[in-house]
Structure 1
Amino acid sequence: MSLVQLRRSRDEAARDLHAFLPMTREEMDARGWDELDVLIVNGDAYVDHPAFGGALIGRFLQGRGLRVGMIAQPRWDDTADLLRLGRPRLFVGITAGNLDSMLNKLTAQKKMRSEDQYSPDGAVDCRPNRASMVYSNLARQAFPGLPVVLGGIEASLRRIAHYDYWSDQVRRSVLLDSKADLLVFGMGERPIWEIAARLKAGEPITALRDVRGTAHLRNPGDWEAIEKSRYVRDGKTLWLPSYEEVRDDKAAFLEMSRAFQHETNPGNGRPLLQPHGERAVYLNPPARPLETADMDALYDLPFVRRAHFSYGERKIPAFETVKHSIVTMRGCFGGCSFCSITEHEGRIIQSRSAESVLREVRALRRMDDFRGVISDVGGPTANMYQMRCRSEAIESACRRLSCVHPGVCENLQTDHGPLIDLLKRVRKEDGIKRVFIASGVRYDLAERSPAFIKELARHHTGGQLSVAPEHVVDAVLDKMKKPGVASYERFAEQFACASQEAGKEQHLVPYYISGHPGSTLVDMIELALYLKARGMRPRQVQDFIPTPMSMATAMYYTGADPFTRAPVYTAKDLREKKLQKALLLYWDPAQHHLARLALRKAGRVDLIGHRPHCLVPPEAPVRAGAGREQPREGDVPKARRGPGATSERPRRRAPSPPARSRS
């Protein structure tokens, strides 16, 4: 067989019309389908892999006998793309993708990102701003009278009134602006199946008011008489301050944020109601978490584990990162104030069985480009696998926001044994050469298990291990709900000893956040001095971004702690945010002029110079007659213009590629 014939044979095999959820009429015809039951409109490129939410929900519904199609990254100036597969019988499901569309597009400095990780070849013009709203309204135009169900992380984190960093204003629930019939929040498998089953049985969408994990709108006259809850177990509805109140009064915003956080446990969370003008958003209690058998069934679905053939040779950057990784669990009980994982995935850890994970390992081995290296075995936090409260009764009644802050709860089972056993079994599978943990380790838990740290250092670290101490100043760490720096240092010492014992030279790669609420320039200087004293030059520095619904965002917007009402200093000026970040990058000459400005502003000119304790050198003198070699003290360089505009202008339709290039 010639090279051309071999390539054509491979391309034809890759273009299997039955392999993916259909994206084209040709794929529907190959199945003999004249219509769909459910159409999913997805802000991400279609990658048939369980790490991508749209594919996960689509496969889940398909596995229950429904005919599901996918429209990925449609045009948003007309309905032609949405109409490609015809009108579905039950509903249209809308997701902005794996990230909030605004976070996906703009940086902490509100500049355009240079790459969209979830688009072909990283293109930045493949989805609109506020994609949930745009796609939902587009679906209304395309399919009048058809139920529209909104889901995904963008919808989940904007389900109530929320502060939006990119417009610097409090916005109302996305349910109103999207005009969707239902909003699914949290992990959507249980709610979306109940919605589909009840619609299939003939119930109208207006009757689906009691589905856990969903929100809907109530019209005037339909909510004012709902009795208000007075205590947790009275079975009544908790009223949140109205949208107008939280928009106009930061004290009301704090009250809303505090009250909402205490209603996220499926075991005791009350229904919530938030008035928006004459209407109100009604939120049912969160959906019940999946049991191990449910998780196993979900990940046993027939994922192709590659991007849809229509993308040809174009790469989806996010997929390239995760295609040889395995998710073992979901959820996080850390409760970090800057993170929204808990608000979306929940605090209860939902784990797969070892047998399910091993089945996925064997599926990985069958991939053409797999070379025996599993890039990650983990989840939001790798070492929370199978950790739960010691009592279901205690867990269902608990209203604590974190199981590990200010200290590890005595009821939390922190045994790393199941994870150690799982990792050993994965390593022993035929064809597996290396198994890495790349999704992050909670070090305050890991330090309780020397056996896990030894396994981690000997077998699952490729020279560097990512951890997230975030800061070193206790007052800042307290606002982050992170453990004190002593915990990180104990873990670092144990990991260094375990690496030495294994005969390996390995290092921790610590992540830090600049500009977090509670952090001043003085605090950042203390952190920079800590780093320099230990010879650390961090490259993983995150400029704090206030994402919807997190507790740190409430602090950023209001200037106060939602739980204590105490004032919290916050760097809101973009220039000061740059100064804080520059201090963490004290070792980088490109940041020296900003770091000097920060030190002068904080009254620490003693740290500018060539002495050992200094953070940055003094400004180099400018030679007479020479051009200025670096910015003057106090200059803040203009950010380079991003590769695209932030307007809602739709992208141009690319010409349809020939058949061969689509495979």
Structure 2
Amino acid sequence: MNGQPEFLPMTVEEADRLGIDRFDVILISGDAYVDHPSFGTAIIGRVLRDAGYSVGVIAQPDWHSDADFRRLGEPRLFFSVSAGNVDSLVNAFTPNLKRRSSDVYSPGGRLLRPDRATLVYTDRVHALFPKTPVVIGGIEASLRRFAHYDYWSDSVRQSILADAPADLLVFGMGERQVVAIADRLAAGESAGSLTNIPGTACRVDLKTWRSMDQAGYVVLPGYAEVKEDRYAYARAFALHYNEQDPLRGRRVAQPHPKTVVIQNPPAMPLSGDELDRVYELPYARRAHPSYTEPIPALEPVRFSVVSHRGCFGACSFCALTHHQGRIIQSRSIDSIVREVERMAKMPEFTGVVQDVGGPTANMYAIHCGRWETAGTCPDRRCIDCPALDRSHTEQLRLLRRLSEIPGVKRVFIASGIRYDLIGLGDEEYLSRISADHVSGHLKVAPEHVSARVTACMGKPPRAVFDAFRERFEALQQGKRKRQYLVPYLMSGHPGCRMEDMVELAEYVRDTGLYTEQVQDFTPTPMSISTTIYHTGLDPFTLEEVYIPKGREKRIQRALMHYRDPANYALVREGLHAAGREDLIGSAWKCLVPARGRKRRL
């Protein structure tokens, strides 16, 4: 861990000062270089450096010319290419496919990355350095590793590995993989021989595939078939979804017109000690000093802490099963304390730890005895399993330790909690979180209240949220300054009809819940919901599912903001479509006034 520079070098001059005449690995990213453990480039670069390799960074290169790609020369081992922390198209477009006017991962929010950045960067670097191995990774590559529905072109695209001139694709959290790749290339192996590294995908030509022993492979319907046949697409998704466990997953192959993409089983999760080491590397928690404008994405997370990885929530619209996996990997309390102690010494630190969490904050230290030896169960959801140890004792102990650190005034949980993990015996936990670790608003994600929609989303039914909301409200009794629930809600999800959105709007009306956190469903690659959106089929049962599209999606979103006069016309249209004209008018229960009449305040 010792001997790492304050920042990984971005120029030859920085490399010279460090005594580097040729880099072992060069990382190319669609994000600005921020040396913070919430940014993938920083983690991968620091891990490689910790393993003894010299690492350079080319951040947001100008893809219109060769100069930026040549800036650091040719690496000894490989180029690593990533679109950044977010899929470049998710980053560039709203759910309504309107182009965004800024990029929070760029200096000053400027637009500096191309669409489909992984492909663009890989094409350029391969053309300039055709003999140097190229490894692609990050969320964009990870979730496009098989043939996938692409919302932005409304088409089924090939695996990104079939389109990009890359030697390997790293999926999931890539620390194990990149070090293994570097070690084997440094030992003299060729890139073409690196076909068996867990957590990677490679490709073979059709002739080689036909001559291989295919026993033990799960062979998906090929690209040509899934492109034309929605049933084949749904079957292919279900097949590879079931192989995403690191202990029981098998190799998965999918034929394409010119190649066959092969995914190895996922990499084993990092142990607690390994995770501690990764997050205790000497991150500067600042943007590289070459930037003269702030990076907007940094400030909300600068003093946040990652406590764990993984999520067993199994929400249909989330692709974490394919990326971080269902097994929870938690850091030690001592390690997190040391990280916050270092943060507290920074001159910019004001005493507030902005967030302590992971994909779901209160999954920290939750454990199942099967995970180490057998992996996750193939026939059940962890979130519903009575054998799961749901204790929040360790999270409370962690929060207590952090709160006692000199210079720390408040420790917040901003990443949200899974309310259905808070049992009736957890009143102390709910009380402590509400009193000490929420800044006035507790974020939770019921997403919907309609039974058929929550079932399609993989979310708990309305009764579970109602019970939690009542418990939370009971804690507010007698408080001089009350707190509020901020529910994340979603419109336009597969299975959601107009009457379901009217039901949700009425629920918001009757409960008085805050509704700013409304998301219009976006079909991002490799989620269950995206497969349903594209095919109209549940991929596991092949049953038909209703899909709202086009104008109906706009109306569904408007129903969540029915109080806004700008939405009155769309809300009326939705209420007529649902046969709920009784909600138009001036009565107390009405959502919008009749046309031409003003709402009574």
TM surpasses 0.5: yes
Matched with 1:275 is 255
Matched with 1:308 is 288
CA contact (8 A) 2:528 2:539 kept: yes
CA contact (8 A) 1:458 1:499 kept: no
Question: Structure 1 regions of 5+ residues with no counterpart?
Answer: 1-16, 230-235, 623-663
Matched with 1:319 is 298
Partner of 1:508, secondary structure, is strand
1:31 aligns with 2:8: no
Matched with 2:454 is 477
Matched with 2:38 is 51
Deviation at 1:101, TM superposition (A): 0.3
CA distance in 2, matches of 1:453, 1:395: 32
Identity %, equivalent residues = 49
CA distance in 1, matches of 2:429, 2:478: 14
Deviation at 1:503, TM superposition (A): 5.5
Aligned alpha-carbon RMSD (Å): 1.5
Matched with 1:631 is none
Alpha-carbon spacing, 1:425–1:393, altered in 2? closer, same or farther (3 Å): closer
Matched with 1:372 is 351
Alpha-carbon spacing, 1:464–1:395, altered in 2? closer, same or farther (3 Å): farther
Deviation at 1:176, TM superposition (A): 1.5
Among 305, 330, 351, which residue is 2:330 paired with?
A: 351
Partner of 2:596, secondary structure, is coil
Partner of 1:511, secondary structure, is strand
1:520 aligns with 2:507: no
Deviations 1:111-130 (A, max 9, x none): 0113211111111x210000
Amino acid at match of 1:177: D
Deviations 1:302-360 (A, max 9, x none): 10110001112x11111111001111001101110001122111111111100110011
Partner of 1:209, secondary structure, is coil
Deviation at 1:394, TM superposition (A): 6.6
Deviations 1:209-240 (A, max 9, x none): 110011111012211244455xxxxxx11101
CA distance in 2, matches of 1:533, 1:621: 22
Alpha-carbon spacing, 1:31–1:401, altered in 2? closer, same or farther (3 Å): farther
Deviations 1:602-643 (A, max 9, x none): 222221100112111112269xxxxxxxxxxxxxxxxxxxxx
CA contact (8 A) 1:18 1:30 kept: no
Matched with 1:655 is none
Among 372, 395, 411, which residue is 1:435 paired with?
A: 411
Partner of 1:170, secondary structure, is strand
1:198 aligns with 2:184: yes
Matched with 1:135 is 121
Deviation at 1:533, TM superposition (A): 1.4
CA contact (8 A) 2:485 2:513 kept: no
Among 130, 134, 159, which residue is 1:148 paired with?
A: 134
Higher relative contact order (CA 8 A, sep 6+): 1
Partner of 2:203, secondary structure, is strand
CA distance in 2, matches of 1:20, 1:32: 14
CA distance in 2, matches of 1:93, 1:455: 44
Matched with 1:224 is 210
CA distance in 1, matches of 2:475, 2:397: 18
Q: What is the TM-score normalised by the length of structure 1?
A: 0.88
Question: Equivalences for 1:225-244 in 2 at 5 Å?
Answer: 225-228=211-214, 236-244=216-224
Matched with 2:397 is 421
Amino acid at match of 1:144: P
Amino acid at match of 1:110: L
Amino acid at match of 2:65: D
Partner of 2:235, secondary structure, is helix
Q: What is the TM-score normalised by the length of structure 2?
A: 0.97
Amino acid at match of 1:246: V
Matched with 1:20 is 7
Deviation at 1:600, TM superposition (A): 1.5
Amino acid at match of 2:375: S
Amino acid at match of 1:362: E
Amino acid at match of 1:330: R
Amino acid at match of 1:587: R
Alpha-carbon spacing, 1:502–1:546, altered in 2? closer, same or farther (3 Å): same
CA distance in 1, matches of 2:330, 2:108: 33
More moved, 133-142 vs 550-559:
133-142
Deviation at 1:161, TM superposition (A): 0.3
CA distance in 1, matches of 2:417, 2:227: 38
Partner of 2:209, secondary structure, is coil
Alpha-carbon spacing, 1:499–1:437, altered in 2? closer, same or farther (3 Å): farther
1:70 aligns with 2:49: no
Deviation at 1:537, TM superposition (A): 4.2
CA distance in 1, matches of 2:205, 2:362: 46
Amino acid at match of 2:105: Y
Alpha-carbon spacing, 1:107–1:500, altered in 2? closer, same or farther (3 Å): same
Matched with 1:341 is 320
Partner of 2:287, secondary structure, is coil
Alpha-carbon spacing, 1:530–1:545, altered in 2? closer, same or farther (3 Å): same
Matched with 2:230 is 250
Matched with 1:558 is 535
CA distance in 2, matches of 1:598, 1:572: 13
CA distance in 1, matches of 2:511, 2:476: 19
Alpha-carbon spacing, 1:400–1:76, altered in 2? closer, same or farther (3 Å): farther
Deviations 1:90-122 (A, max 9, x none): 000001000000000001110011321111111
Among 113, 138, 150, which residue is 2:100 paired with?
A: 113
Amino acid at match of 2:398: L
CA distance in 2, matches of 1:474, 1:621: 34
Deviation at 1:192, TM superposition (A): 0.8
1:398 aligns with 2:377: yes
Matched with 1:387 is 366
Matched with 1:173 is 159
1:467 aligns with 2:444: yes
Matched with 1:533 is 510
CA contact (8 A) 1:328 1:385 kept: yes
Amino acid at match of 1:99: V
CA distance in 2, matches of 1:316, 1:540: 23
Matched with 1:6 is none
CA distance in 2, matches of 1:454, 1:182: 48
Partner of 1:505, secondary structure, is coil
Matched with 1:446 is 422
Matched with 1:94 is 81
Question: Structure 2 regions of 5+ residues with no counterpart?
Answer: none
Partner of 1:167, secondary structure, is coil
CA contact (8 A) 2:485 2:514 kept: no
CA contact (8 A) 2:370 2:376 kept: no
Alpha-carbon spacing, 1:401–1:242, altered in 2? closer, same or farther (3 Å): farther
CA distance in 2, matches of 1:225, 1:502: 72
CA contact (8 A) 2:443 2:487 kept: yes
CA contact (8 A) 2:327 2:371 kept: no
Amino acid at match of 2:229: D
CA contact (8 A) 2:61 2:69 kept: yes
Partner of 1:194, secondary structure, is helix
Amino acid at match of 2:331: R
1:103 aligns with 2:83: no
CA distance in 2, matches of 1:437, 1:446: 15
CA contact (8 A) 2:26 2:80 kept: yes
Alpha-carbon spacing, 1:316–1:393, altered in 2? closer, same or farther (3 Å): closer
Deviation at 1:502, TM superposition (A): 6.4
CA contact (8 A) 2:247 2:373 kept: no
Partner of 1:367, secondary structure, is coil
Alpha-carbon spacing, 1:499–1:26, altered in 2? closer, same or farther (3 Å): farther
